[in-house]
Structure 1
Amino acid sequence: MVWSNGSASCCSESPGSVSDPGATRDSALSLSPTAHSVVAACLGFISTFGFASNLLTLVLFGRHKALRSPINLLLVNISFSDLLVCALATPLSLAASTRGRWLAGRTACVWYGFANSLFGIVSLISLAVLSYERYCTMMCPTKPDVTNYRKVALGVVLSWVYSLIWTLPPFFGWSRYGPEGPGTTCSVDWAAKTTNNISYIICLFIFCLILPFLVIVYSYGKLLHAIKQVSSLTTSTSRKREQRVLVMVITMVLCYLLCWLPYGIMALLATFGAPGLVTAEASIVPSLLAKTSTVINPVIYIFMNKQFNRSFWSLLKCETSHGGSIQSWSRANKPMRPAGNNLTSMVASVDQRSPAPSTSKSHKKHPMINSAKPPALSLVARYNTSI
């Protein structure tokens, strides 16, 4: 750690106790000038493209009414939190990496650690709420009300309140925020071996990393199971669509693990491992991977969503949101379920796309096509494709 560890809380240290955090950095946790330059280049890329892609998402949402559905509100919440990370936090670590030491002082370091934790947890919880909302929508016995924002708005508020519950305690003595790794970034104090700090880190790991991951795996797993149940009753096109859903789900889960699991493992090793076990390189790489989520999230959840994709090309062609392809596309999909439930709406309205039986004999051969649909089919058949 960069500051003096003589105090149980960084908030209780005298403001002038350490004027230059980098001055007391342990030599074992220092990077070479070349390594600092590489880290700065990575942070510059993450900050630039993360800010641009998430800002574009917000612009598209504000410009096209067709995108303003309840489920898309969760996507916007993810983009908004990622945008704040790129705008308010990442530039501080970028500046520090260019000089090889933290430049902004202790107060800014505490702010950086708090902001990164707050916005990161908001993003993680929003991804979990998004997956659960898609699952609930699919399992709903009746057609969902796509004009009701109350449930999704509650999920958005929950993500921020939940995040604040877990990021404010360091200000009140349960763990603390301070420099991590080579001293160019700040986070929770992973290295302190006190019971106070260890208990906080364990809770943070379980409730802010493992729990959202379990919700995502459960929700998308049940969704895929329902899709697979109808695969034998659908056309080859629908089976290809099922495979595409599977690929997207695997991509979502793997990217979640790629971005956040290394950081969680690094934190646990720093907390429970021997002093010096986590080197400077071992600490900075997981931190960079976690920050790449601000770039990956828009690509997976926004630009792989055909509705956002069409809106994006409409924006490039300078088409108005009231005409052109957006308007005609919206009309063409009626009575499709509008906007944004990208994963659940990937599954076709199977019985709507299947040719209607023309004779009573056909009805006898396929009795389930009539009113006695199998449960799995009735769950999936409400949705038309949006990709």
Structure 2
Amino acid sequence: MIVSNVSLSGCAGANSALCAAVGDGHQGGGSYRSTLSPTGNLVVAVCLGFIGTFGLLNNLLVLILFCRYKMLRSPINLLLINISISDLLVCVLGTPFSFAASTQGRWLIGEGGCMWYGFANSLFGIVSLISLAVLSYERYSTMVVPTEADASNYRRISQGILLSWLYSLAWTLPPLFGWSKYGPEGPGTTCSVDWTAKTANSISYIICLFLFCLITPFLVIVFCYGKLLCAIRQRKYRKFLAALQYVFGLTE
């Protein structure tokens, strides 16, 4: 993270949020100051409060409906529940800290809290993205080879959910052990991967994170829904040809 013995005199050409973080680390034990104006912090706090509250209520409602109505407990809906759980965890374990930081104009839970915030939000975000990729593949495979819901379907979906968490952990744990790092970002009231570092260590991690946690699931989603769309169009085209044959008496 931020080394306590960094000289503040070298901050003139550095990132302002990082310099503010360093300065407050000397003065207040790792309390990072926001670079926004009080009005800017207020606007951010209002937006975060709305997003956090709406996300919490919305995802709780999804979980309640899933638990209450047995008809909703299909294999494919388990993936949607996994996404809701990861989003709910962001609302509970992430958003409140950035909301509190925005209301006070500074990061409140120190360097360790900043690392936790960056790790947790990255973890839950990647889980949601990988789950969407698995969901798109599952919908595509169901469309191509329709199957009834049985134990094997639940087992396959459960494996997909486990994969989403293990895959996310595999890419969010390295910054805690030296491959890049988590630190303050933007105005200094949130934390994430250190995107501004120019070292080979950080750049290599950011490139891998971009390729394997954004581009790869995005391509899977595009491919699966593209194939799904083509399959739907082909079926519609066949139905249209069948209707024409029936109208013009071309059927046997």
Q: TM-score range by the shorter chain?
A: 0.7 to 0.9
For residues 65 and 31 of structure 1, do their structure 2 counterparts lie closer, same or farther at Cα, with a shift above 3 Å needed? same
**Which residue pairs with 2:250 in the alignment?**
365
1:19 aligns with 2:29: yes
Unaligned runs of 5+ in 1: 7-15, 236-350, 368-387
Give the TM-score taking structure 2 as reference length: 0.84
Amino acid paired to 1:145: E
Are residue 169 (structure 1) and residue 149 (structure 2) matched?
A: no
CA deviation vs aligned residue, 1:227-258 (integer Å, no higher than 9, x gap): 111223447xxxxxxxxxxxxxxxxxxxxxxx
Confirm or deny that 1:98 pairs with 2:108.
Answer: no
Post-superposition offset of 1:4: 5.1
User: Is contact 1:128-1:216 (8 Å) kept?
Assistant: yes
**TM-score normalised by structure 1 residue count:** 0.56
| Runs of at least 5 residues in structure 2 that lack an aligned partner in the other structure | 7-24
Residue deviations 1:157-196 (CA, integer Å, cap 9, x gap): 0000000000000111100111111110000111111100
The corresponding residue for 1:375 is none
Higher helix share: 2
Secondary structure at 1:117's aligned position in 2?
helix
Match of 1:144, as an amino acid?
T
Which string of whole-angstrom CA distances, capped at 9 and with x for unpartnered residues, describes residues 320-352 of structure 1? xxxxxxxxxxxxxxxxxxxxxxxxxxxxxxx9x
The one-letter code sitting in structure 2 at the alignment partner of 1:365 is: L
Q: State whether residues 36 and 98 of structure 1, in contact with CA within 8 Å, keep that contact through their aligned partners in structure 2.
A: yes
Q: Which amino acid aligns with 1:22?
A: Y
**d(CA) in 2 for partners of 1:210, 1:21:** 34
Question: Residue type of the partner of 2:148?
Answer: D
The one-character-per-residue Cα deviations of 1:248-295 (angstroms, maximum 9, x if unpaired) are xxxxxxxxxxxxxxxxxxxxxxxxxxxxxxxxxxxxxxxxxxxxxxxx
Q: Aligned residue for 1:201?
A: 206
Q: Which residue of 2 aligns with 1:190?
A: 195
What is residue 16 of structure 2 aligned with on the other side? Answer: none
Give distance in 2, aligned partners of 1:35 and 1:2.
25
Give the Å deviation of 1:5: 8.5
| Equivalent of residue 54 in structure 1, options 56, 59, 63 | 59
1:109 aligns with one of 105, 109, 114: 114
Q: How far apart are 1:2 and its partner, in Å? A: 6.5
SS at match of 1:179: strand
Equivalent-residue separation in structure 2 for 1:4 and 1:125 (angstroms): 37
Q: Give the letter aligned to residue 196 of structure 1.
A: N
Contact residue 21 and residue 102 of structure 1 kept, 8 A? yes
SS for the counterpart of 2:148 is coil
Alpha carbons of structure 1 residues 186 and 5: separation in structure 2 relative to 1, 3 Å: farther
Please, which of 136, 140, 157 is the counterpart of residue 162 of structure 2? 157
State the alpha-carbon separation in 1 of the partners of residues 60 and 201 from structure 2. 39
Structure 2 residue matching 1:39: 3-state secondary structure: helix
1: CA distance, partners of 2:126 / 2:210? 11
Alignment length (residue pairs) = 229
Change beyond 3 A, Cα 1:3–1:98: farther
Deviation at 1:145, TM superposition (A): 2.9
Alpha-carbon displacement from aligned partner over 1:26-81 (angstroms, at most 9, x marks no partner): xxxx1111111110001001100001000110111000000000000000000000
How far, CA to CA, are the matches of 1:76 and 1:5 in structure 2?
46
Shift of the 54–196 alpha-carbon distance from structure 1 to 2, 3 Å rule, reads same
